[in-house]
Amino acid sequence: MTKAIKLLTALPPPQRERLMSLAREVSFPEDARIFEAGGTADRFWVIRSGAVSLDQRVTSLQRVTVASLGAGDLLGWSWLFPPYQWDFGAEAFSPVRAYEFEAAAVLRLCEEEPALGMSLVRHVAEILAHRLEMTRGKLMEQYGQHRRSVL
């Protein structure tokens, strides 16, 4: 199983400093919708404090939480891949402070500094692999409980 990594601590210090030069501090109040599935993914965040839930709309009235994120976690990866639309929704579970990065500026920096770009993409891929494994485990656990109760 992959281990959880934190994007900013995974980057070598010089690359982290270059990326952080593009950051701006933002905050979201508890229960704020940060983004909706299908919306334009033109930025991402690294959570400084608080908690965010990622959710998937199941019906017009129901959302299911698929992950909970906290301090140091990357929020948003859809800015990196076409069609640049959010795959999930995100909501502040508590007051949240975060670093916000505009995707266009980060992508320009990655083109100017290919080593930083490769490192950033590699670490985002590691984060996604870990989250996929965690989600798969939760689904298997839930499915196994459901099957036992049906039998």
Q: What is the pLDDT of residues 40-63, one digit of tens each?
A: 999 999 999 999 999 888 777 788
| 1-10, 88-97, 98-107, 137-146: the lowest-pLDDT one | 137-146
Computed over every residue of the chain, the mean pLDDT equals 90
Residue 146 has pLDDT above 60, yes or no: no
Spatial CA neighbour of 113 closest among 11, 9, 10: 11
| Average confidence (pLDDT) over 128-141 | 80
The predicted pLDDT at position 63 comes to 83
Task: Tell me the pLDDT band of 97, cut-offs 50, 70 and 90.
Answer: very high
What distance, in Å, lies between the first and last C-alpha atoms of the chain? 30
CB-based contacts of 69: which residues, under 8 Å, 6+ apart?
Answer: 47, 51, 52, 53, 54, 75
| CATH superfamily of this structure's domain 7-149 | Jelly Rolls (2.60.120.10)
Cβ atoms of 20 and 59 within 8 Å: the answer is: no
pLDDT in tens, 6-16: 999 999 999 99
Could you give the CA distance from residue 83 to residue 47 in angstroms, rounded to a whole number? 24
Average pLDDT over residues 121-148: 78
What is the rounded average pLDDT of the residues 15-37?
97
Domain boundaries, the chain: 7-149
pLDDT of residue 108: 97
pLDDT value of position 79: 95
Please determine, for residue 93, whether its predicted confidence score (pLDDT) is greater than 80. Answer: yes
